[in-house]
Amino acid sequence: MKTFSQKIEEIGRARRKRVEVCAAALIAEEMTLQELRQAPKLTQVRLAKALGITQDGVSRLEKRSDLLLSTLRKSVEAMGGNLSLVAEFPDREPVILSVIAATENDSRPLKRKRGTSRH
């Protein structure tokens, strides 16, 4: 049985290079919220100020894996970008969903008032 390294050696240098380039492109397309913020050299403090929350709040957002779309949209917009949500299906063209468009209710700050709880 061959090891993974042995199999890689068999595919040839030119093809390996193409695979590495494709892999790097795919990795570059997938970023965490923290990496997205760091790419333009934006600090947590500056992002917090733009969002109307504390630096600690930004830190907590970056660690979460289950953000609300409205929170993610506000974060991306505070970084100077726009958020699009695309639904992809095997039997049709991708569809851009408009459910993340700003609404009047989304204009409130991201922080909760002290003393309130989620029930």
Prediction pTM value: 0.57
Tell me what the pLDDT averaged over the chain comes to.
Answer: 79
Domain total of the chain:
2
Percent of the chain exceeding pLDDT 70 equals 79
Highest mean pLDDT among 12-16, 28-32, 110-114: 12-16
Q: Which domain holds residue 19?
A: 1-30
Decide if pLDDT at 75 tops 90: yes
pLDDT of residue 20: 79
In a domain, 117, yes or no: no
In a domain, 92, yes or no: yes
In a domain, 119, yes or no: no
Give residue for tokens 């050696």.
9
Same domain, 22 and 57: no
